[in-house]
A = this chain, B = another copy of it.
Amino acid sequence: MSTQRVHLSIESKLDHVSLIGVLVRALATQLGYGNMDSFQIELAVVEAVNNSIEHSYLGEPNKKVDVSLAIGEGNFVLTIADDGIPMPSKVLAESDESASSDDFPEGGRGLDIIRQVMDSVTYERGSRNSLHLIKRLPSH
């Protein structure tokens, strides 16, 4: 079976993000992931899309966030792409421990979650910004 691919996209408004979440979680379940993994995959993609909207586009609507899904070679690969301000290079590398002097910050947890639930997380700056998330497919 060759790699199967589908592309999702939404306008950069937080209102639309839940649709991406619902779709990705349902696909994960269909791919054989358990409830827990499917939830965590939804969580990771929602965090990434929220970041594109809030940080790359600074909340500006009418921009486009793309989520490409590829299933093949034992991996579920999710790529979240935008055309906004790239993530600063050190942000992805550092753990959230150092992120805030506040004991209980209200934000700053998204990337840490993504790193924890995914098997691989890479980021590409270029003509577009692309965050690549990889999760091993469940074994049959």
The interface of chain A, by Cβ under 8 A from chain B, is 2, 4-11, 15-16, 18-20, 22-23, 25-27, 29-30, 69, 71
Cα distance A19–B26 when bound, in Å? 11
**Do B30 and A16 have beta carbons less than 8 Å apart?**
no
Contacts of A23 in B (CB 8 A): 6, 8, 23, 26-27
Chain B proximity of A72: nearest CB distance (Å): 10
**Do B5 and A18 have beta carbons less than 8 Å apart?**
no
Cα distance A5–B12 when bound, in Å? 11
**Do B6 and A19 have beta carbons less than 8 Å apart?**
yes
**Do B15 and A4 have beta carbons less than 8 Å apart?**
yes
**Do A9 and B6 have beta carbons less than 8 Å apart?**
yes
Contact A8:B10 (CB < 8 A) given known A22-B30, A30-B22: no
**Do A27 and B22 have beta carbons less than 8 Å apart?**
yes
**Do B7 and A10 have beta carbons less than 8 Å apart?**
yes
Closest to A5 in B: B16
Contact A16:B9 (CB < 8 A) given known A22-B26, A26-B22, A30-B22: no
Contacts of A5 in B (CB 8 A): 10-11, 16, 19
- Count chain B CB atoms within 10 A of each CB in A5, A18, A20, A25 and give the residue with the most: A5
